[in-house]
Amino acid sequence: MDFSRVLRSNAPTATLLVRLMVGWVFLSEGIQKFLFPAALGVGRFIKIGIPAPHFFAPFVGVVEIVCGSLLILGLLTRLAALPLLIDISVAILTTKIPMLAKSGFWAAMHEARTDYCMWLGSLFILMVGAGSLSLDARLSHRDKTLE
């Protein structure tokens, strides 16, 4: 496998803004799973019925911290976006879809606004890569000069 293909991106420089937004939200949510475990970590996972909450809440927290940080840095960006896309998809399926059935469309849409933006932002980053202001771009450029 040509690893430089994972790093390469011809995305616009402004992609940095999407990376910062998505990365920061995931990073801060991951940290909060440890700071406030009853409300946002294990306790929340128990409340919404996630199996093995004592395993999955810290696991998801670590994924959000590590992958969110990687997005901010623009390092292994496409690889980091994939677990975050899975993470936010599970969040939507386990919290927003049940809310849709219980509280109706507009209440669910209100609560899902951040999740929707995070899902689209993660998908965008997965598709276009990190852009020119990233460690991926530096590493990709370095690989070209070594050839």
Q: What is the pLDDT of residues 36-68, one digit of tens each?
A: 999 999 999 999 999 999 999 999 999 999 999
Structural domain including 132 reads 4-146
Secondary structure (3-state) at 132: coil
Q: Which DSSP symbol is given to 104?
A: -
Asked if pLDDT for residue 145 goes beyond 60, the answer is no
Cβ-based neighbours of 75, under 8 Å, separated by 6 or more: 130, 134, 135, 136, 139
* Residue 109 pLDDT class (50, 70, 90 cuts): very high
pLDDT of residue 147: 53
Distance CA 147, CA 142 (A): 9
Q: Structurally, how many domains does the chain consist of? A: 1
Burial class (CB in 10 A: 0-12, 13-18, 19+), 32: middle
Cβ-based neighbours of 48, under 8 Å, separated by 6 or more: 94, 95, 98
